[in-house]
Amino acid sequence: MRSLRWALIGLGVAGLVAGAIPLALAIATEEGHQRTLLAIFGPLTGWAFIGTGIFAWLRRPDNGVGPLMTALGFAECMAALRVSTEPWVFITGLVFITLQWALLYHLLLAFPNGRLGTRLEIGLVAVTYVSAAVAHPVQVLFQDTTRRGLPENPLLITGDPDVVSTLGRGRFWLGLALVAALGVLLLLRWRAASAPQRRVLAPVLVSGGLVMALLAAWYAAVLAYADESLVQTLEDARIVVLATVPFAFLAGLLRSRVAEATAISRLVARLGDPSERRHGLRDTLADSLGDPTLALAYWLPDRKEYVDAAGQRIELPEPGSGRVCSPVESGGRRIGAIIHNGHLANERELVRAVGAAAALTLENERLDAELRANMEELKSSRARIVESGDAARRRLERDLHDGAQQRLVSLALSLRLARARVEDGSEAARELDSARRELEQALEELLELARGLHPSVLSDRGLDAALEGLANRARLPVELVRTPGERLPERVESTAYFVVAEALTNVAKYADATHATVQVERVDGQVVVEVRDDGVGGAEPAKGSGLRGLVDRVAAMDGRLEVDSQPGRGTTVRAWIPCG
Amino acid sequence: MRVVVADDSVLLREGIVRLLEEAGFDVVAQAGDAEDLIRKVSAHKPDVAVVDIRMPPTNTDDGLQAALEIRRRVPGTGVLVLSQYVEEGYALGLVGDRPDGTGYLLKHRVAEVERFVEAVRRVGEGGSALDPEVISHLVGRARRGDPLAALTDREREVLALMAEGRSNQAIAEQLVVTERAVEKHVTSIFGKLDLPPAPEDHRRVLAVLRFLRA
């Protein structure tokens, strides 16, 4: 801080000298270029920019506006050197004449935080600098300045008016386009700004915008070969108005300090106000900082990742995306981050201050988010357990059909063949017949078991066919009112199937019904399963372990299940299963 | 009668082959997967193919798909499909709109040798054979607007046995009535189902289809 101060004092002295030189030259020169105007406004504007720039630099060392303003001041002083009749001094001033406009362009886009927000802005500023620092000096190499009654150009390669005119016109057209883009960007920023932000922006946009508008008008006048006096008037006006710009920037910066303090004190008051809590921290911060797109990220130290309020993992914005991320810490510990617009009129410092003020609330919300993230994890692990259970049952069913059943059937076949070789009525025949009957019984039981584990038809032919099978096997008439008619995700199909199977088993066991209907349809991203009977009612999921199991199973899929069963009015089991 | 047997379980396939050969069939080829089956049926043009539903390559219903393919590509070949479990959808899909030369039996029926052999023979001769368990499911299912509602219980029984593919004589034996009585029921069924006049064989097929689709 101390060394910065000394450096800035040194810079101030250099600035005084830089302004004094053109002033001295103007006094010493009788017939210099635009003598009176430059003699007064060149050094004046230069000093004003250097002075206010150094002041802003001192007050806000981390803000880029101060250095930019100082640089603009020096550029202005250099450009004022063109007042001289000495060829080398004159041409130095002429070369620098465009740099100040590029710097002003940069300043307007970077105000008030001193940084460019988006790639578009960076690109526009880069083009402006190239036009000022490359295209214009190249043009000077071909400019025979004596033609316009100016001092001689010692850099002259060849005095070709065509080259100068072509380069100049190209640069002016480009300048017009750049100023137009600037106008649009500033207008958009103005429209997006909150009232306090507008108070900060207003002086800068008015004076800076006016200068840029005068510059554009001057480009247009030159391009249109307008009257010489009009061109001259526009140029003079621009030089005069430019002198007000540094003060506008200073006013804006000071106002932004006030706006910050106001925003923070208002935020602190709101955070303490119970009636504000229902809005949530994000809304309060978005409002205080005037950035409706603001988002909060909560840090989960165990997982080393950021999540949103719902506990879902989120990625922080990349640099240059126009969004900026400011970390929030509490007691030296990272607790979260504020993701905000890069244009946020109140700069990073403010966001940091706001973050510090909101740290306690943020920590509370972080704990909530952590809880939600853990719940999400729990939910998906529950779903995974159900799915792996399903997969295991499918494997077991397949193994039974492909292994045990095949062997038992071929054993039965062997028994039959053996039986055919034995005389009827013998002891062996009786033994073989009894063994065969046992074996048939075993096969029946095996098939029942396999079907209970997992219905093959479900994997092979889908829910429609499997429901048809269920309806056909049921011990009472079952009407399939509606089925999906398409294949659904495997876990959805099996959950829906088990709901219908279990519900129909219950109907057959307890309902004393004459008729049941089954309806499965896909509505708004979920599958709705309904099994309805005309029985005695009075079923309670809490009592029957079958229904209880169904409730858990459906919940594991993030769905829900309801049983409506008033005594004497039948039972309706309804499940909603999410199905993306 | 010439037969091709397809099953990916070698043990069971050998058992079925032995059983059919003892019953006097000529087993001309054996296949272990669906493609092999189609190739061998196209080459040997057997009277009937006995096919396990679950076979490689996908081990789902490849056998059924192969059976449908055979019905399209080699008409006149009977296909008898063996299934590990009852699935009416499979049976109805196989039968399509012509039950002649099709059969669908539960796999463990092969151990009921006489019945199995009889079913193979019937399918090979262009008749049909549906597993009684499939039929009982179809009878058991209740739907609104059932066209079979007008039938008496006895007539349903007769129709179900017709659907299994039995002849009038076999039905008479099963129900312990005279063949004459069965004929009377059959005529009554044709009338109640409002079947158009046609040769007896064709009307039987229509009645069975009506029953299967009910």
CA distance A232 to A33: 12
Inter-chain residue contact A450 with B60, CB threshold 8 Å: no
DSSP type of residue A404: I
The closest CB to that of B11, out of A406, A459, A477, belongs to A406
| Residue A326 backbone dihedrals phi, psi, to 5 degrees | -110, 120
CA distance A161 to B111: 109
| Residue A327 backbone dihedrals phi, psi, to 5 degrees | -70, 150
Count how many residues are written for chain B. 214
Which residues fall within 8 angstroms of residue B186, CB to CB, at 6 or more apart?
A: B158, B162, B168, B204, B207
Contact A481/B at CB under 8 A: no
Contact B61/A at CB under 8 A: yes
Nearest Cα neighbor of A168 from A126, A131, A121 is: A131
Inter-chain residue contact B88 with A440, CB threshold 8 Å: no
Query: Which ranges of A403-542 would DSSP assign to H, the alpha helix?
Result: 406-420, 427-453, 456-461, 463-473, 490-506
3 state SS of A482: strand
Q: State the pLDDT at residue A429.
A: 92
Inter-chain residue contact B85 with A450, CB threshold 8 Å: yes
Which residues fall within 8 angstroms of residue A215, CB to CB, at 6 or more apart?
A: A101, A175, A179, A238
Tokens of A25: 């030259």
Nearest C-alpha in B relative to A516: B142
CA distance A369 to B175: 73
CA distance A25 to A153: 18
CA distance A108 to A209: 8
Q: Hey, which residues 169-208 in chain B have their CB within 8 Å of chain A?
A: none
Q: Hey, which residues 75-114 in chain B have their CB within 8 Å of chain A?
A: 84-90, 107-108, 110-113
CA distance A354 to A340: 12
How many helices (DSSP H) and strands (DSSP E) are in chain A? 19, 9
CA distance A261 to A400: 75
Determine contact, residues A208/A104, Cβ cutoff 8 Å: yes
Tokens of A357: 């003020």
**Angle, CA of B8, B93 and B64, to the nearest 5°:** 10
Ranges under pLDDT 70 in chain B: 139-147, 214
Inter-chain residue contact A450 with B88, CB threshold 8 Å: no
Domains and CATH numbers, chain A: 2-186 (no CATH), 280-374 (3.30.450.40), 458-578 (3.30.565.10)
Please report the DSSP string for B98-117 in residue order: --TTEEEEEGGGGGSHHHHH
The closest CB to that of B85, out of A402, A436, A451, belongs to A451
Contact B9/A at CB under 8 A: yes
CA distance A577 to A561: 9
Map tokens 């001309």 to a residue.
B28
Contact B22/A at CB under 8 A: yes
The closest CB to that of B142, out of A415, A443, A477, belongs to A477
The alpha-carbon gap from B126 to the nearest alpha carbon of chain A, in Å, equals: 26
3 state SS of A252: helix
Determine contact, residues A251/A211, Cβ cutoff 8 Å: no
The alpha-carbon gap from A444 to the nearest alpha carbon of chain B, in Å, equals: 9
- The per-residue pLDDT string of chain A (580 residues; one tens digit each, 9 = 90 and over) reads 568 888 888 988 998 888 888 888 877 776 655 566 766 788 888 888 999 889 888 877 777 888 999 999 999 888 888 888 888 888 888 888 889 889 999 988 888 777 787 889 999 999 999 998 888 888 888 888 777 777 888 888 887 788 888 888 888 999 999 999 999 999 988 888 777 678 778 888 888 889 999 999 998 998 888 888 888 888 888 888 888 888 888 888 777 766 666 667 777 777 767 666 666 788 888 877 777 788 888 888 888 889 888 888 888 888 767 787 888 888 888 888 888 876 654 456 777 777 777 787 788 888 888 888 888 888 888 888 888 888 888 888 888 887 888 888 889 888 888 888 898 889 999 999 999 889 988 988 888 888 888 888 888 788 988 898 888 778 888 888 988 989 999 889 999 999 999 999 889 888 889 999 999 999 988 999 999 999 888 887 766 657 888 888 898 888 999 999 888 888 999 999 998 7
Tokens of A534: 């005309």
Residues of A in contact with B138 (CB under 8 A): 472
> What is the enclosing helix (H) or strand (E) of A526?
strand A526-533
Inter-chain residue contact A478 with B19, CB threshold 8 Å: no
Query: Which ranges of chain B would DSSP assign to H, the alpha helix?
Result: 10-22, 34-44, 62-73, 88-95, 113-124, 132-140, 153-164, 168-175, 179-192, 200-213
Largest separation between any pair of C-alpha atoms in chain B: 50
Interaxial angle between packed helices A195-223 and A161-192, expressed in degrees from 0 to 180 and rounded to the nearest 10: 160
3 state SS of A215: helix
Q: State the pLDDT at residue A258.
A: 65
Count how many residues are written for chain A. 580
Tokens of A540: 């309670």
The CA dihedral of A424, A428, A431, A437, to the nearest 10 degrees, is -50
Q: What order of strands is seen across the sheet that includes strand A516-523?
A: A478-482, A516-523, A526-533, A572-578, A560-564
Which residues fall within 8 angstroms of residue B39, CB to CB, at 6 or more apart?
A: B31
Determine contact, residues B64/B90, Cβ cutoff 8 Å: yes
Inter-chain residue contact B22 with A465, CB threshold 8 Å: no
Nearest C-alpha in A relative to B18: A417
Q: How many other C-beta atoms lie within 10 A of the C-beta of residue A144?
A: 15
Determine contact, residues A494/A482, Cβ cutoff 8 Å: no
The alpha-carbon gap from A462 to the nearest alpha carbon of chain B, in Å, equals: 11
Residues of B in contact with A472 (CB under 8 A): 88, 137-138, 140-141
The alpha-carbon gap from A365 to the nearest alpha carbon of chain B, in Å, equals: 51
Nearest C-alpha in B relative to A447: B85
Map tokens 């044709």 to a residue.
B190
CA distance A36 to B126: 118
Q: How many other C-beta atoms lie within 10 A of the C-beta of residue A13?
A: 10
Contact A266/B at CB under 8 A: no
Tokens of B156: 């349903």
Inter-chain residue contact A451 with B143, CB threshold 8 Å: no
The closest CB to that of A468, out of B60, B89, B142, belongs to B89
The alpha-carbon gap from A437 to the nearest alpha carbon of chain B, in Å, equals: 11
Tokens of A242: 């430019």
Tokens of A401: 């059909």
Q: How many CA atoms lie less than 13 Å away from A548 in the CB half-sphere?
A: 5
Which residues fall within 8 angstroms of residue B33, CB to CB, at 6 or more apart?
A: B6, B8, B55, B56, B57, B62
Nearest C-alpha in A relative to B64: A460
CA distance A548 to A540: 9
CA distance A92 to A115: 30
Tokens of A408: 């038992």
The closest CB to that of A457, out of B89, B110, B111, belongs to B89
The CA dihedral of A94, A98, A104, A109, to the nearest 10 degrees, is -160
The closest CB to that of A479, out of B89, B107, B143, belongs to B143
Determine contact, residues A506/A515, Cβ cutoff 8 Å: no
For A467, A518, B67, the CA distances from A521, given in Å and listed in that order, are: 12, 10, 32
> What is the enclosing helix (H) or strand (E) of A145?
none
CA distance B182 to B169: 8
The alpha-carbon gap from B167 to the nearest alpha carbon of chain A, in Å, equals: 26
Determine contact, residues A466/B131, Cβ cutoff 8 Å: no
Q: What percent of chain B has pLDDT over 70?
A: 94
Rounded to a whole number of angstroms, the CA Rg of chain B reads: 17
Tokens of A296: 């909060």
Counting one residue from chain A and one from chain B, the pairs whose CB atoms sit within 8 A come to 99
Determine contact, residues B126/B101, Cβ cutoff 8 Å: yes
Determine contact, residues A326/A291, Cβ cutoff 8 Å: no
Contact B10/A at CB under 8 A: no
Nearest Cα neighbor of B202 from B210, A142, A108, A81 is: B210
